[in-house]
Structure 1
Amino acid sequence: MTEDDDVDDARDDELLTIGAFAARARLSAKALRLYDRMGLLVPDQVDEATGYRYYRPGQAERARLVALLRQLDMPLAKVADVVHADGPEAAGLLDAYWAGVEARVAGQRTLAGYLRGRLSGRSSEVYGKFAVETVDVPEQVVISETRHTLAGELPAWIGASLGRLEEAARECGGVTAAPFVVYHAEVSMESDGPAESCVPVADEAAARAWSRERGRAWQSRVRVEPARRLAYTRITKAQVAHPQILAAFEAVEEWVAARGWTVTGPCREVYFADWEASGPEDPVCDIAFPVSGAGEGPEPN
């Protein structure tokens, strides 16, 4: 051990008050108290009589790391995971967090562009990208699962609920048509629907027997979906994300209104393709509204 090492060890044995350590770490005493409560940076000693916190100079490096991670708007729980991990693992956790940030910002950038078009009166340019058609759908027996859910939880719930219902359909004569999700009220970051996942099945009696025996666990039921005429537009997997999917819904609504037709039921998403096997530009979903008056109203100019 060199003389310099002895000096460094002596300096690290020195205890600093929270004020002195805050100045060295370039943090506030308030932040240090919070980091202590969260277990991110625990003082080296706490005086039992006074409650005063004392830190070693060597703890400044972790304090600055925590502060830097917080500058990335990283939640304290994730900061704790990073600072308690080893080097490569910590770097991997940071990479995963930042990938999520970039994905969120990309979505917000797209949403901002969409809103800019609406606010500037150029909505028709956006809606014009969607081709709208009508289709007649016969009466269907469906097994369904309903849930109040916010937008952030919606994609995971749709995948899980349709998976459960498609598995159950094996006991109900099999799936007879594309699964779909009905929105009985708005689903957003503030509004929780409800939404209803539906899978058409062949055997109504078998479906009702399944519902009595096993459907309660997932708030499942059997109902008859009446024959409907749908106005719809077909979108790709990439367009299912917000805000593109909002533009698709609004494009269909505008198309229907322009013809003087009437929306007669809740909007829906019809998933006709294998989601996992589809690429970003593959058509996977129809955005649809039940309508009446189709074929009777004048064509718009």
Structure 2
Amino acid sequence: MKDELLTIGAFAARSRLSAKALRLYDRLGLLAPAYVDEASGYRYYRADQVERARMVALLRRLDMPLAQVADVVAARESDGTRASELLAGYWTGVEERIAGQRTLADFLRGRLSGRSSEMYGKFVVETVEVPEQVLITEKRHTLADELPAWIGASLGRLEAAARECGGVTGAPFVVYHAEVSQESDGPAEACVPVADGAAARAWAEERGRTWETSVRVEPARRLAYTRIAKAQVAHPQILAAFEAVEAWVAEQGLEYAGPCREVYFADWEAAGPEDAVCDVAFPIRGTGSAR
């Protein structure tokens, strides 16, 4: 039988994987040898395993974690379309991470070079009048690394609840009543505008306490805001957008009329890294020279 098999050295040469990598993949169950000599412990492989080994090598060159490599390779043997979808999903995540890192690198370069003010020119700041709104809200103390998951879950709960309150009437948003960072936990407040205030209050009385949810009326406000892409939303790169709006408010001689917020107007899951998804905004008052 061994005459028909390849030694680990010969197989490594043909598969473009090192013997060390082959031993690791064997331990992980990713690429098991066809035969192991019980006396010597030598590993032997079939020639038809070369294609699988090369696929593993190529996927690893994409820096794909071994667990995901195993999923793609296993799917390929039964459903090539599914394997392709798994790879596409992984690569979408890579592109989103790289886009976020690129934005963070730009932010840090500006800070390190002392040219933060130049960065603000990349953000277009405008104003908008927002009418009075009835809101269902959920408030929580949270640190920056926990914030994205909480925002998604909280807004999802509130939007589902809004169906019982006449429906959603405006873009959901998150208000920061105090700083949220790695050291400061806010609180933050997720808000969804709804149509029926009476239904919202009744809903909150019945079930809202489960989520520490409340109903409040948000007065009409004027917001100064800048629009950012999905890749810019991550902390700390989003700080550049907040600082840009703050600098603009100071230049215009305006005053703050409430805590800052992030307004989410797009489908987060469907958006790509460069798609606009969020307005970073501050309620303002005063005449100044606002446009």
Paired residue for 1:232? Answer: 224
C-alpha distance 31-100 of structure 1, shift in aligned 2 (>3 A): same
1:56 CA drift (Å)? 1.8
SS of the equivalent of 1:269 reads strand
Percent identical? 59
From 43, 50, 63, give the equivalent of 2:33: 43
1:40 CA drift (Å)? 0.7
Given that 2:155 and 2:172 are in contact with CA atoms closer than 8 Å, whether structure 1 keeps it comes out as yes
Paired residue for 2:101? Answer: 108
Note if 1:171 corresponds to 2:171: no
From 260, 269, 286, give the equivalent of 1:267: 260
The one-letter amino acid paired with 1:197 is: A
CA distance in 1, matches of 2:185, 2:224: 24
Paired residue for 2:63? Answer: 73
Paired residue for 2:53? Answer: 63
SS of the equivalent of 1:68 reads helix
Per-residue CA deviations over 1:210-238 (Å, capped at 9, x if unaligned) read 23433356x25114366486552142xx6
Higher-Rg structure is: 1
CA distance in 1, matches of 2:30, 2:185: 35
The one-letter amino acid paired with 1:56 is: Y
From 198, 205, 209, give the equivalent of 2:191: 198
The one-letter amino acid paired with 2:34 is: D
CA distance in 1, matches of 2:135, 2:165: 10
- Structure 1 runs not aligned, ≥5 long: 1-8
Paired residue for 2:43? Answer: 54
TM-score by length of 1: 0.66
Per-residue CA deviations over 1:118-146 (Å, capped at 9, x if unaligned) read 433443333234224475865x5521234
1:73 CA drift (Å)? 0.4
Paired residue for 2:124? Answer: 130
Given that 1:130 and 1:248 are in contact with CA atoms closer than 8 Å, whether structure 2 keeps it comes out as no
CA distance in 1, matches of 2:15, 2:26: 14
1:41 CA drift (Å)? 0.8
Paired residue for 1:254? Answer: 247
C-alpha distance 33-267 of structure 1, shift in aligned 2 (>3 A): farther
How big is the alpha-carbon RMSD for the aligned residues of Structure 1 and Structure 2?
A: 4.5
- Structure 2 runs not aligned, ≥5 long: none
C-alpha distance 30-137 of structure 1, shift in aligned 2 (>3 A): same
Paired residue for 2:180? Answer: 186
The one-letter amino acid paired with 1:94 is: L
